[in-house]
Structure formats: C-alpha cells, structure tokens
Structure 1
C-alpha cells in the first residue's frame, strides 16, 4: 500500500458532525427490494447474490444503507449512493468551487453581478431513473418542499431563505416562493438579500421527483417509503437492496453524461465510521472508500493493491467555550479572553497530536484550515505554560474553579484526549472534569439562551469538545452571531456581529475572502472558540480503479465523472 499526502482543498469540507440525524421507519433486518417507481418494494424479485470479492466490473464501496437511504438534503455527499444516485444543477470542481459555464442538470447558468438573480437553463435530455423527464417544476417543488423539512443542510436553508418571498412561504401566507419563476426549461431565482453560498448550494442540492414525495409530510420526509429504494437522476440507479446486508447500483442508461460499464456494490456502514473498513479492504471488498481513523490506515500498511491518499479538508476539532453567565448568576469562568488565551498556551497541541494521531492531524490556530482562504500572521499559541500562568494571574483566576467539559464521542481516542488535556491544564493551575453526554444533544449542547445578549446560559457546561465540519466558511462562523439558533455559547459582541455580517454581504469570492481574513484575525485574538486541530480524510482506492477522478473531498459532491471511470 502507498500512503500519499496530497493537498489542502481550498473549498473542501466535511459534513457532518452536524448532530442532526434522520430516523427511518425501514426494517433494520435484511429484506430484499428492487428499485421500482417511488421506492416501492418488488417482493416478487428473486434475491440477488452479492458480487464475489474482486469480481471484474464491480466497484466495491462502503456507506450502504442499514435502514434507509439518507435524504441527500442533509449530508449531501457523505454516502457513495448520494453522489451517484442524484444529479445537481451545476458542478463543483475538486476544490468545491462552482464550475463556470456548463452545468450538470443545467446546461448553463448565470449569476448577476450583484448576486440578486440566478438563472438556470435545464438540459433537454435529463431524466429520472423511471425514464420520465426532469422538469423545472420539479426543481421549484424541491426547493419549496425542502424548506419545510427538518433534514435540510444549513447552507441550503440559508440560500433558500434568502429568496424573495421565502418568509411569506414559510409562514403559510404564500402558496409559493415569489422569488422562483419557471418559464419552460428556464428557472429564475430572485433573492431578497445576498445569498453568499448560492452557487455552492446548487453544486450540492439534489432535486427530488415531486410525483413520489408530494403527498409526504415534509416533517416525516426521511421516513418516506421512497428512501427504501429512491428514484434519482444521477449516473447510477438502485439495482438491488438487501437492507443492512448489501446494496448494488447499476448504470443508468439515460444519463446525459454517458453510461458506465461497471456496477457498484455497497457494504452497509455509516459514511465515515465503518467498523469493517480494514476487514473488507484486506478481503478485496473495498475499492473506493474513506475513513477519518488513523488506526484504519495503520492497519492497512503493506496491503498490496491499495493506495491511501491524505486529503486535507474543512474538518476542525475544537472546544466551544461557554461565555454566558451561569444560571445562578455567577460569572462564566471563560468570559475573560485572558483565561481563554491561557488555555491555548497551556496545550502542547503538536505533542498531543503526534501522540494521539501519530502526526496525521495538524494543530489549528483558526477554524479555517491552512490555505488560500486563511489570513497570514495568526498567532499559533505555541506551547508556553509560563505565559499561561501569567495570563491566569492577570485574570485573577480562582484555582478552585473546576471547568465542566463535555463531549459526545464514545471512542477511546476521545477519552484519551480528554485525559491529556486535563493533565496539561492541571500543570498551569486549571481544574477540569470531562464527561460524556448522551441523549438530546441539540438541547444539551446547543440550546440558545432566551436573552442572547445577557444570558444566562441555557446549557450546563463550560467547554464542549466537538467538531465543525463546514461546506462553506460561513458554516464555521455564522453560528457565533447574536441570536443565532444554535448559539449556546457566545454572548452578543457587536464587533463580531459586524465582521460576520461582512462575510455574508457579497457573492464575490475575493470580497468574501478579505472579509474572512479580518474575522479570522479577531477570532485568533479573542478566541471566542478554541480551535484544536484539523483532521484529514484518508481516501482508499484499490488498483481495480484504472482511471478515476481528480482527488477531492469524498464527503461532498464534485465533478468526479464516475460514469467514465475504468474498472478492471
């Protein structure tokens, strides 16, 4: 096996430690279904035998469904099936930058200079997997219906809610969104305010067929029978499903971009948490897959026929810092930025990561990973326990204070990391207690206070160890705005609000980048959160893939041209 370190993706991201999870009504035990219109099970079809390991013309991957196919509107590219079953209006390149000119379902698109109008012209030869044509009405319906669901990616929601008339549509006073106009194959979107991620949204948002879902309660979308065997629009379609056992996808012969000459065999697993990753890879049952687990990579060292590429993406582990006063009126122990800076200086992140990740993760000095989108000259907060002690003294730190630190990951690595952080903080005079939280995480971790200016806090913790996986940089930072729905941790800060607003004021990438630079400098100085490290993705490919795609973030959709791959 070859292990290669590749590149840092400018707009790559990882989804999804979003803490949102769909729950399905599908049977968790093995049950055979075949793809028919609307996801209806064909109980007369004979069960297909799974492909033999190494079989010619079969690409093995993971992330197959266990109870249901996850809607593509939440974590748009986490699963191989989401990237193959569904087409999108426009393409992103391997850096997740929208490709100009020709689109995917749209043969062309145009954004006005002020970012207030976006026009798509659909292709003539685009079809759902049942053979019926995809229409502009399907696109309009998908946008409007998506806004009523609870399984919508935050970037998508922000874009759609910026449309003219979206608020009236959401509150029920309008039947349709005023800012969506359909004229034959032409779709015109008119925005009420700038939607800075509009183009990015339509590289990831997959329209769904209205005829199969129009009568489904949007609140129960994930439970729809459709997601037992979905009808999509991409280069592959559902062939056989044996839920929680295996799923096969076959080429869609009416896909405008060409027809593949191989099938895809999916082993069931979560998108980036495959307990059988190593076993299947060694057995020849994994040709394309990804993991975030360095232990998987180490276990596969020396395995012939496998290549693992390290792809740096927007996936940042951090400590959320609760700065709201406590419920009993006591001052938050982390309200003083000198205390927050002391914690940063107290942690030797380089040594920690060398020990825990064997050098496979990078210390962070901002939510934004290294690359063109990051400001120069940020303070790295290199390990300096004496500086930490000085700052604590200046802040009149009470050594009897014990920080309540929560985490929601159950792996041993997280427990080890919490113990290491506890030890480092103890060396500068900070006590902490780390505890696992389970249950309603949305309430336990992210419930915002009724008063976003003065508090008190609506959650019971001082620091929360978590991940922030961002499709766009706005996903990293928007949550710190005053009154944001999941801002459980950061009181109103007019300067911070102003800087965040500036990043959302234009669709021009260069204007956004400069605004983010200023925001990152303020972030680095005040540490309204504490970034710890950037975690890469490890992308496995076998030598069965003779011709593949440019390397990109496998957790999102980009123009990987899979229908034209060459497979042994």
Structure 2
C-alpha cells in the first residue's frame, strides 16, 4: 500500500507544478522569418478582424492530454470542443446533443452528426472512444481519467457511444467538460505523432491552428466550417509577454487587446485609463504553503504545523500582496468550488504559537528552508512576509527560489521541505480541489479516514450527500494542518475598452470565442 501511495504522490507532485504553472520562453521578435512580422505590429491597427491576447508564458504543447498549464488550456479552449461544457456550474451539451446514465458505470452520449475536424475529417464516436482511451493512458491526464475505462468504452454506432467507468465516479461529467476532455482527431494523432500534433493541433473548435513562432506568438484563424456560432473576428493571436509591467504597457498602447494576467499593482492605472478596463471575478485558484511528504520529519508534529499556521496573519498578507483581488482562505479550497464548507479563518495568535512550539520541543536553532518559484512575484512576496512573521515567534527560515522546472525536480526528489504553492482546480470539482492537499502529503496518505472520504466523495453521485462527504473531508484536512492556506484568488484580466463579452471563467481558462468588439 505504501509503495502504491508513494507512486501516486510522485505523479501528483509532477502534475501539481504544471497544473498552476508552465515553462516559458522569453518573448522575442523573429525578424529573420520571411513569413513573420514583428510581434509588436500584430495588433488591431492592421484590422479589427484580429484580436491580440498576451500570455504570461508560452505553452509547452497544445496536446490536451500531455500538458497541465493554464496558458496551454486557454489556447486549446477555442481549438478543441468537448462532449459537454460547464457553464455557471451547470453541465450543458456541446459535441454531445444529449446523454443518459444507463447505470453507475455507463454513460451513453448521443453525438452531433455535423461536426468536422480542421483537417476535414468528420468527427465520429470512434474519435471520442480514442480520446477517452488516450486520456486514460497519458501521464498528464491519467489522474482525471483513472476511473474511465477506455478499453471498455463501446462505439454503439457512428454517433452514439457508451463511455464506461471502472467504478462509480461522480466527477465524470466535470472532467469531460474540462480541457482534458478535449476531443482529438484519431487519424491526425496517429499520422502526425504526439509531439507534432502538440505543435500543430487539429480539433473541431471555432478557431483553427495557423502558426507557432517559438518564444513569440501562436496564431489561430476562424474555422469557417464550424458547426456552431462563428467568432466575431477572423484571427486570434497569442503573444508571449512574460513581464507583467510590459503586458500592462502593451495594453495601454494598443499593442494587445487582452492581458490574461494583470498584476494588482497595475490595476489602478488601467482602471482610470478610458482606453482600458479591468475584468474581475471570483476564481477557483488559491495559494498555500505545502509540506513535502518525502521530507517530512522536521514538521512531523501537528502542534508545530499548527503553530506555524497560527503565527501567520493571512489577512494582512493577502491585503499587502493582492491589494483587494483576493481574500484570506478559510477552508482547504475556495468557496467557489462545489461542496465548500467554511472552517476558518485560522486564529492569528503569535504568543500562543510560540508556546505550542516550546511544548512540542521545537529546536529554535532549526532553519526552515522555504522554496518558491522565482518567476512568481506574488509567491515570493508571500514567502518574505511569512518569513518575518515566523521570525516573531523565533522560527528561523531562509527562502530558496528556483525556476519552475527546477523547483519541480527538487520536490520530486524530496529536497524541499516547505514550499509556497499555487493551485487552480479549474474543473470546479471538489475531487480536483482536494487532489493538491493529499498530493502535498505530509504523511496524510497513511490516514485511512482521509482516504476513505476521498474515495467516498468520488463515488457519491447525489449532490447533497456528496457535499456532506466533502464537509467532513475539509474539516479533517484543515485540522491536520498538512498545508497552510493563505489566499483565495480572484480572476483578473485587462482588456481594451472596446472588448466585450470577456468570459470570466473561475478556472482562469476563458472561452475567447465569446468576445465581441464594440463600435466606438
């Protein structure tokens, strides 16, 4: 059992980094490409048929089953379609016209018969069957599809499919509605191979892939054969602009139409500018401190972990770092996620925290090593404030910053102890939200009551009964102090003032096909 658990934790630690982050290449102009214009000139000045969006990082790939980055999923959202989509918390038809639950292990989907891939191939039930089996086997999507039975899934006819499950699985529709449920073209994947397909994806979405200039931009064009509504524009350009202040300047000057990652420091200026606007809404994302279960001994005593949590004034941290765009966490996942139960906030009491450390026999000569991703300013700011607050109770610490990829390697190798972690359970499902808590581990993988509740929550279809399970689970996780919740984050975008219908998706994966342009 323990070997099996460790394997799961290793896989999930790998997934965790890419769930919230992605590797990026510094933006540059590619002047030597005769087919490439300077990225700064790809703007609405050429034509209002073009929308330009700034990404904070470059996607590693656009293969939906082989990546975990939010930036990739944002591009994929308009390239691919899914069987169903989640809108305002409700599951609605997309490529599937309807569906029915035949039994606890079988969902029958009735597909549209007018859908074509971007290469002209007609989408059929075989493409869906292939997608399910592929998603189950690929490391980046395996967790979400571990309860799907790809081999057992049956094509009933060209436009009817019975998707099978290994076990009762309540998150099934939510996960099918996520980017991991993007339907791929079987023929294209098999002919191109996974790597090539990820660099030139073929879906059924409203926009189709046109060009990828590494480190610079990705271009999509309107899919004129789309089965649904056409976009209000002909071309969508994603530019890679890593620096937050540069994205804000580009937005102000009209070099981009949308920035999907605005720094709180730039909000006031952009709000006051008549040519730009801030688009904000509640999100699924949160920041917390996690303890590496492979390097656990120093913080094995629950009193020590509770004392560290009690020494942090999370409201003060959130106000200082996020400037009104987040709130102090009061549970192990945000109130936007299904099944949320308020438990906290954690009591802020540094005097009591210090007494608890003394009672636990804490060695005040110990130096906590706090790991953070160097390219995430907010996380570094949280670390620095926490470091000062812990110093007030006599806990020494040092902050070690790594590039995202290096931090992942350090975590997998068990070389980190305390890390500041971003998490974005973009499906909105509580199973997704608690995944990060038991992947953080802290020895909790050996706690049978927690594992029993996780399994029960996954297998409970009734919404009310399922919420009751997650209420118990949230309380157990909170009381274990396996992590220290800090901030529940809002979704924050910046747009030009003529951009309308900007989708404020809680998972930070907006559907840019909805965008319209006002005539000003």
- Please confirm whether the aligned pair reaches a TM-score higher than 0.5, indicating the same fold: yes
Among 155, 164, 167, the alignment partner of 1:193 is 167
The Cα of 1:374 is off from its aligned counterpart by: 5.4
- Cα distance, 1:273 vs. partner? 6.7
Residue number in structure 1 paired with 2:347: 382
TM-aligned CA distance change 1:299 to 1:110, over 3 Å: same
How is 1:385-424 mapped onto 2 (pairs within 5 angstroms)?
Answer: 385-424=350-389
Deviates more, 1:15-24 or 1:120-129: 15-24
Deviation at 1:538, TM superposition (A): 0.6
In 2 relative to 1, CA 85–129 (structure 1 residues): closer, same or farther, beyond 3 Å? Answer: same
Q: Deviations over 1:105-132 (max 9, x none)?
A: 11112234x5321111111110112333
Listed as ranges, the gaps of 5+ residues in structure 2 are: 1-15
Aligned ranges 1:220-259 → 2 under 5 Å: 221=194, 223-224=195-196, 226-259=197-230
Which TM-score applies when normalising by structure 2? 0.83
Report the RMSD for the aligned CA atoms in angstroms: 3.5
- Post-superposition offset of 1:319: 0.9
Partners in 1 of 2:293 and 2:138 — Cα distance?
Answer: 32
User: Would the aligned equivalents of 2:284 and 2:507 in 1 still touch at CA under 8 Å?
Assistant: no
Q: CA deviation digits over 1:465-505, x for unaligned, max 9?
A: 11122133222323555xx6x74764511222222222212
The answer for unaligned runs of 5 or more in structure 1 is 1-14, 34-42, 167-176, 327-331, 448-458
CA distances 1:407-457 after superposition (whole Å, capped 9, x unpaired) = 22334544443232122112112222221245544442145xxxxxxxxxx
More off after superposition, 350-359 vs 406-415 = 406-415
- CA–CA distance in structure 2, aligned partners of residues 444 and 135 of structure 1: 43
Equivalent residue number for residue 190 of structure 2: 214
Describe the superposition over 1:36-83 as per-residue Cα deviations: whole angstroms up to 9, x where unpaired.
Answer: xxxxxxx8x999983443843332222399687522333486354312
Deviation at 1:284, TM superposition (A): 1.6
CA distance in 1, matches of 2:306, 2:76: 41
Who is 2:10 aligned against?
none
Preserved CA contact (<8 Å) 1:311 1:539: no
Native 8 Å contact 1:58 1:263 kept in 2: yes
Secondary structure of the residue aligned to 1:534 is strand
Structure number with higher helix proportion: 2
Q: Which residue of 1 aligns with 2:11?
A: none
Offset of 1:261 from its aligned partner? 4.0
Give the alignment partner of residue 444 of structure 1, picking from 388, 400, 410.
Answer: 410
Any idea what SS the aligned residue of 2:87 has? coil
What pairs with 1:105-504 in structure 2 (closer than 5 Å)?
A: 105-112=95-102, 115-150=104-139, 152-153=140-141, 157-164=142-149, 177-204=151-178, 205-215=181-191, 221=194, 223-224=195-196, 226-269=197-240, 276-291=246-261, 293-322=263-292, 332-371=297-336, 373=338, 376=341, 378-438=343-403, 439-447=405-413, 459-471=414-426, 472-478=429-435, 481=438, 487=441, 490=444, 492-504=446-458
Post-superposition shift, 1:187? 0.8
Indicate the residue corresponding to 1:171 in structure 2.
none
Relative contact order (C-alpha < 8 Å, sep 6+): which is higher?
1
| 3-state SS, counterpart of residue 435 of structure 2 | helix
Residue 556 of structure 1 is matched in structure 2 by 509
TM-score (norm 1): 0.77
